[in-house]
Amino acid sequence: MSLDDTLQPHRAALMTALEEEDGERLGVLLGELRSADIGEIVEDALGEDEEGLSVALALLDGLHLERRANVLGYLPGEEQRAVAEAMEDKALLLLLEEMGSDERTDLFKVLDEDRREALLRRMAHREREELKRLASYEEGTAGAIMTSDYVAIPTGMTVSRALMRVRQTAPDAETVYQLYIVDPEGRLAGTLSLRQLMVARPGALIDDLMIKDVISASVDEAQEEVARTVARYDLLALPVVDADQRLVGIVTHDDAMDVVESEATEDIHKGMSIGALEDGVSRVPLWSLYRKRVTWLVLLVFGNLFSGAGIAYFEETIAAQVALVFFLPLLIGSGGNAGAQAATLMVRGMATGDVGVKDWGKLLGRELLVAGSLGLTMALAVAPIGVIRGGEAVAMVVAVSMICIVLFGSLLGMCLPFVLDRLGWDPATASAPLVTTVIDASGVVIYFGFATAILSGV
């Protein structure tokens, strides 16, 4: 993580205060910064060297408990673990207690088994059970990103009492702007915004005001689905329910935003056949980066053997007219580029919900027209070069091959995500490298096939 330029002077001032052991000045400086920014400076220090950890701890020590908990919440997993490991159980427990339930759970999950056990033993029964429950949800689901710090109002309450309840829970709740009404069995009965509550008659019953048809997510729903719902309906928070419709948490808009961003990063990486990284590219361990990249690269080496086989098959044609090889990278490259474009457009369209499986036919027709025009344009661009390099016959072979390869490549690139989806795979597996490799092999056959047919007659 690179430290933001605007934070550099702040960091320098903090370092000076630390060196001079000027606690008062440190407090003032920290008071001028936002938690997210302190988090970034602490993260930067931790990435530095041996001494980084003690600097980070000194910075955290300069904060009062609530802010320390906030700052810790902004650190990535690795950095959280480093800080937590350097702290005593008692201090860490105090911090955990102060954190929001979703951040507490995330921090808890990066600790090692022994530490977790030690901490759980020192917790009160209710807290322990709550933490264990939240930590048990699978990564990437609604349960893993939700918080249990929401404002729940029992059915049957009046508006004035509900307002009082809101005031009481204000300091601890993640959001007080959306209230969730639960029946005696804990089932989600309705929702009400604070805005509606504020303009309602104080004596009115919540049950008469609440919206009963609540949009909610189930606890094991994929996090990208959750984020999409939040975005689609412009929600402040989305309630999460278990199999019995009991309210178990909420996903707030800021956490949904983080999901949208990290899912986009994952999709972009997948588009280049890179597996999901557990951290930013500048921080992820080298071994992990290697593993996430090597799998498909090696698989595609073998995939590329089909291109080689195609070339071996046409070796006679090539030997007879070596000049043909001149156009080989150009033709298969162009087909690969057009095909990767088509695949990418479909994969992203499917991810954002713009493209559905049943649009397939219509999109095929559109791609036929666009790719045909693209192939024609590119054939016109390459034909003169064909004439110069090998005469009219070669130019014809190259131009016709270009049209066919671009058209075939684009249609293949377009269809692959749908086929993968039908097979139950992630459509994003239709990455640029995969599509390019498949088109390379087809391009070799198309090109040398035409060459053999047309030039053998010359």
Window 240-279: residues binding a second copy (CB under 8 A): 253-254, 256-258, 260-261, 264-265, 267-269, 271-274
- Which range, of 127-135, 180-188, 332-340, 418-426, touches a second copy by CB under 8 A? 332-340
User: Which phi and psi (to 5°) does residue 76 adopt?
Assistant: -70, 165
- Which range, of 52-60, 90-98, 134-142, 327-335, touches a second copy by CB under 8 A? 327-335
Binding flag, residue 396, a second copy (CB under 8 A)? no
Task: Output 27 or 353, the one with its CB closest to a second copy.
Answer: 353
Task: Output 36 or 65, the one with its CB closest to a second copy.
Answer: 36
The CA distances from residue 208 to 44, 154, 213, 275, 435, in Å, are: 52, 13, 13, 50, 57
The CA distances from residue 157 to 152, 193, 250, in Å, are: 11, 15, 21
Task: Output 132 or 389, the one with its CB closest to a second copy.
Answer: 389
Task: Output 12 or 215, the one with its CB closest to a second copy.
Answer: 215
Residue 158, classed as helix, strand or coil, is strand
Binding flag, residue 77, a second copy (CB under 8 A)? no
**Per-residue contact string for residues 285-324; x = within reach of a second copy by CB under 8 A:** -x--xx--xx-xxx-xxx-xx-xx--xx--x--xx--xx-
Binding flag, residue 349, a second copy (CB under 8 A)? yes
By the 8 A CB rule, do 38 and 30 touch?
yes
Closest approach of Cβ 156 to a second copy, in Å?
Answer: 23
Closest approach of Cβ 5 to a second copy, in Å?
Answer: 8
Task: Output 55 or 367, the one with its CB closest to a second copy.
Answer: 367
Closest approach of Cβ 181 to a second copy, in Å?
Answer: 19
Binding flag, residue 137, a second copy (CB under 8 A)? no
Task: Output 189 or 263, the one with its CB closest to a second copy.
Answer: 263
**Per-residue contact string for residues 157-196; x = within reach of a second copy by CB under 8 A:** ---------xx--xx----xx----------------xx-
Q: Which residues within the stretch 15-74 sit at the binding site for a second copy (CB under 8 A)?
A: 32, 34, 36
Nearest-angstrom CA–CA distance, 455 and 321:
9
Nearest-angstrom CA–CA distance, 143 and 376:
52
Interhelix angle for 77-85 vs 101-110, to 10°? 80
The CA distances from residue 91 to 66, 68, 98, in Å, are: 13, 11, 11
> What DSSP line would sit under 326-366, residue for residue?
GGHHHHHHHHHHHHHHHHHHHHHHHHHTSS-GGGHHHHHHH
User: Which phi and psi (to 5°) does residue 71 adopt?
Assistant: -60, -45
Binding flag, residue 374, a second copy (CB under 8 A)? yes
Binding flag, residue 373, a second copy (CB under 8 A)? yes
Binding flag, residue 213, a second copy (CB under 8 A)? yes
Closest approach of Cβ 76 to a second copy, in Å?
Answer: 10
Closest approach of Cβ 104 to a second copy, in Å?
Answer: 16
The one among 23, 27, 202, 329 contacting a second copy by CB under 8 A: 329
Residue 258, classed as helix, strand or coil, is helix
Closest approach of Cβ 209 to a second copy, in Å?
Answer: 14
Task: Output 120 or 236, the one with its CB closest to a second copy.
Answer: 236
As beta bridge partners, residue 246 has 187
**Per-residue contact string for residues 429-448; x = within reach of a second copy by CB under 8 A:** ---xx--xx--xx--x----
Binding flag, residue 90, a second copy (CB under 8 A)? no
The CA distances from residue 14 to 22, 58, 441, in Å, are: 10, 10, 59
Q: Provide the token pair at 454.
A: 């047309």
Nearest-angstrom CA–CA distance, 423 and 305:
25
By the 8 A CB rule, do 409 and 442 touch?
yes
Number of residues near a second copy (by CB under 8 A): 116
Closest approach of Cβ 302 to a second copy, in Å?
Answer: 7
Q: Measure the CA dihedral 203/165/250/228, to 10°.
A: 50
Is 412 exposed, middle or buried (CB count within 10 Å of its CB: 0-12, 13-18, 19+)? buried
- Which range, of 48-56, 86-94, 122-130, 234-242, touches a second copy by CB under 8 A? 234-242
The CA distances from residue 23 to 65, 86, 95, 99, 305, in Å, are: 16, 21, 21, 25, 66
